[in-house]
Amino acid sequence: MFSEILMQVIALDNLMIILGCTLYGTFVGAIPGLTATMAVALLVPFTFYLDPVPAISAIVATTTTAIFAGDISGTLLRIPGTPASAAYIDDAYRLSKVGRAKTSLLVSVTTAAIGGVVGVIILSLLAPQLARIAISFSSFESFWLACLGLTCAVLTGHGTVPKSLASLFIGLAIASVGIDIAVGHPRFTFGLPELLDGISFIPAMIGIFAFSEVLRSVQSTLNGQAAAASAKEKLGQAAARAGRALGTYRTTIARSSIMGTLIGALPGAGADIAAWISYAVARRFSKEPEKFGNGHLEGIAAGGSANNAAIAGAWTPSLVFGIPGDSVTAIAIGVLMLKGLSPGPRIFIDQPELIHTLFGSFFLANIIMLPMGLLAIMMSSYILRIPRAIMTPIILLFSLVGAYAINGTAVAIWIVLGLGITGYFMEENGIPLAPAILGIVLGKIIEDNFMVSMIKAQGNISAFFEREYSMILGVATVLLWCYLIVRTGVELMSKRHRNL
């Protein structure tokens, strides 16, 4: 059976498709505003003409590389490709500014591949058991998991705790725009139908990170401080540095890969929460926590491996029960059903070849991503040689077009401009940007799960601690909150002392 599966995985058509799709995934992922989900949605019509195995390989290869490629624009232009990359964008962009873009990206691509491989190994060994846990998650558990993710954003923010909290609440306030799921009432939409669905995180991310950076670079050009980035980093040097980092941070990478897979398997926000929690945990266990957020490779390694591992993890509930773990696997299930295959426990017994070929393709896609990513890194690094005065308007153009492309509405452009200015003033005042993004991404998830849980419990708040997993997660979150409140108090007090 093994050789059969191997033959299927490395069959010429499957191989060509994986190769083509890694290229496609890299391209789409690197373009700001185009997401992994969009890349997969665009693939669907083509999968009509493919057999089930190559069809799934195509989806797997595209997502895997698109998530990594989001780091390219994040590192070079400060436009994260996905909210999952936003966790370590400050580290990556700072490295790029001091001329170490290649090192940062090499760490990104290798840890992404490691995370992906670890993810698929765990998936192939433990999928049914993992799925049992995932399926016992109701709205109570999802609520606490998302809260835990948010808490990590405050823990990792490189400002003070009060300022990180401020950033988080700005994000949550933005997330409150749109229809609320529980009662179906539109909020803060000002009668604009485009706002019914809330503020999408892509224009928000482009505005807060990219546009605010454009504003800042205009200011520094005017002040005559435009320091030309020393982009001339030799590939050999970069590879050596990246190699050393991989060796030094091997426990971080291993831990983040495993955590990423497990968190990705749980229903909820998958890769995003995985990256943030892993980043926070890495910082907690790091010997140099103060370096996080200032261009530290360990943070990139933690987040980069976790988000790709989560991609594999998200397949668990989809394959075992046919219940999608995220939007990408939702599309994949649709494709499988179109081929007359219904995912579920029986697919492991009835069609083990299909499942194992899927795992094989996953594995292969992560390996092929390495040379493909290297190519993309070498090509994209030329961007840094372009003078700032030429690059800035191009970034602006890309930002606006990328935001517009999401829903094809001009409202998205206003969101970019509005949030860009907000982001600029936040940074001017030392308020970190990343927690705001997580607030926008998780705000809706938290609210939906909270409202649904409250309706179920008929307003009885103790229900949040009644179920087994929800009690564990709930107690852990509440303890973290207590710790944060104490730290906020201490930081505010010490500041007052200094001022006196």
In the complex, which residues of this chain contact other proteins (CB under 8 A)? 40-41, 44-45, 48, 135-141, 179, 181-184, 193, 196-197, 267, 317, 321-324, 327, 330-335, 337-340, 342-346, 407, 448, 451-452, 455-456
Which of 61/155 has CB closer to other proteins? 61
- Indicate left, alpha or beta for 82 from its phi (over 0: left) and psi (-120 to 50: alpha): beta
For residue 31, the minimal CB distance to other proteins (Å) is 19
* Separation of alpha carbons 446 and 395, rounded Å: 33
Per the CB < 8 A criterion, the answer to whether 208 and 420 are in contact is: yes
* Separation of alpha carbons 31 and 27, rounded Å: 7
Which of 452/478 has CB closer to other proteins? 452
Determine phi and psi for 189, rounding to 5 degrees.
Answer: -95, -10
> What is residue 31's three-state secondary structure?
coil
The DSSP letter of residue 229 is P
Residue 50 is encoded by which pair of tokens? 């493919």
Which of 339/487 has CB closer to other proteins? 339
Per the CB < 8 A criterion, the answer to whether 375 and 30 are in contact is: no
For residue 490, the minimal CB distance to other proteins (Å) is 39
* Separation of alpha carbons 492 and 99, rounded Å: 36
Residue labelled with tokens 């982009």: 231
For residue 472, the minimal CB distance to other proteins (Å) is 15
Which of 99/344 has CB closer to other proteins? 344
Q: How far apart are the first and last CA of the chain?
A: 75
Per the CB < 8 A criterion, the answer to whether 285 and 252 are in contact is: yes
The DSSP letter of residue 210 is I
For residue 27, the minimal CB distance to other proteins (Å) is 20
Which of 385/456 has CB closer to other proteins? 456
**CB atoms < 10 A from the CB of 481, how many?**
13
Which of 124/138 has CB closer to other proteins? 138
* Separation of alpha carbons 150 and 280, rounded Å: 11
Q: How far is CA 64 from CA 3, 187, 368, in A?
A: 25, 36, 10
Which of 131/170 has CB closer to other proteins? 131
Closest CA to 116 of 302, 278, 313: 313
For residue 438, the minimal CB distance to other proteins (Å) is 20
Which of 183/461 has CB closer to other proteins? 183
Which of 176/248 has CB closer to other proteins? 176
For residue 199, the minimal CB distance to other proteins (Å) is 12
Which of 136/219 has CB closer to other proteins? 136
For residue 335, the minimal CB distance to other proteins (Å) is 8
For residue 37, the minimal CB distance to other proteins (Å) is 8
Label residue 304 exposed, middle or buried (CB < 10 Å: 0-12, 13-18, 19+): buried
DSSP annotation string for 131-173: HHHHHT--HHHHHHHHHHHHHHHHHH-SS-HHHHHHHHHHHHH
Quote the radius of gyration of the chain (alpha carbons, Å). Answer: 22
Which of 182/397 has CB closer to other proteins? 182
For residue 407, the minimal CB distance to other proteins (Å) is 8
Closest CA to 245 of 85, 102, 121: 102
* Separation of alpha carbons 291 and 273, rounded Å: 22
